[in-house]
Amino acid sequence: LLIFLSNAGDNSEWGAIRKAVHHHFLDHGCGTSYQTRVKELPTKIAADWSSPKLKDLSDLTLVQKTVCKCVFYMCFGKWLEEADALIMIGWRTNAAMWILPRLVHRFLFNIGIGKVKTLREKTVGIVEKYELQEAFVTMNGSLDARWQRKPVVTLCDEIMFGIGFAGIGGTCAACESLGCFLQLKIPPESAAKHIQWGEYNTSEKMVAKYKEDPEKYIKETCRLVPPVTSATASLKEHTTVTMAGKEFSLPAGLLNQYVLSMANRDPSIFTEPEVFKPDREHSNKALTWNGAFGAC
């Protein structure tokens, strides 16, 4: 899958696709600039979400629909209809399907895989409904012949998988965690024993801190509850490590997985790592979607 291409630099397939996505869907796509669409988002959201209240953040369907509409609008300049947003939230509600091993899917009679295939087909159908095919045709044509897809719908499916899996799924997870933190609740999927509120021990204090500096608040929330929980890398060279008192020799190219929430609690980087501290130093070193905040 495109989203799992190895980051091998600007001259790689990864680099070429990433550059093309930014150019066609963020920088110059859909007739309006990225920054213009950012400025228009509050008005768009307000039209759908009248008289917002803090407790509304507990309505996960409402939060997820809003995220879907915002992400789609930022990429394509189109505000999704309710029915289409309900389809797109499948990229979040089917999150467990992405990580289950193939063997587990077989035991489940491939029901999960069937759901994912249907979601991908419906997502491409939404692209067609809003007449956005030309954007993918143009993007495909701008790529080096090595990276072009035939037919073009293959590229559309791959790009929309990335937008759905990371853009919608990851952002929904982050927004759900933010909604919990603002109400002084521990997110269901997080390590409850390893989150301490510190001085922000009331919902009122949480809301005030968010309003003071939303970016710092969001970064600290995502440090404690990363939207993406783990990642996989391959060793560049032969490595020797000590685990549980034993020494292990690991060959170059070996795949290894690291857990982001554990890395984000490294006491050598983050003082009082389990305490919610939006003003902490080194917040840009926290790992999230595609690396450290400071590298995104």
d(CA 231, CA 229): 7
In sequence order, the β-bridge partners of residue 233 are 256
d(CA 259, CA 283): 17
Q: What is the pLDDT of residue 177?
A: 96
Tens digit of pLDDT per residue, the chain (296 long)? 555 666 667 788 888 888 888 888 876 544 457 888 999 999 999 999 989 999 999 999 999 999 999 999 999 999 999 999 999 999 999 887 776 666 776 777 777 788 889 999 999 999 999 999 999 999 999 999 999 999 999 999 999 999 998 899 999 999 999 999 999 999 998 888 999 999 999 999 999 999 999 999 999 999 999 998 877 778 889 999 998 899 999 999 888 877 888 889 999 999 999 999 999 998 999 988 756 675 54
DSSP string, 111-134: HHHHHHHHHHHHHHHHHHHTT-HH
d(CA 67, CA 120): 18
| pTM reported for the whole predicted model | 0.86
Q: What is the pLDDT of residue 253?
A: 87
Can you point out the beta strands (E) in the chain?
A: 230-234, 239-243, 246-250, 255-259
Residue 96's H or E segment, with its range, is helix 95-99
Distance from chain centroid for Cα 165: 7
Residue 252: φ, ψ to 5°: -60, 140
Torsion sign over Cα 115, 174, 52, 201: positive
Q: What is the pLDDT of residue 112?
A: 74
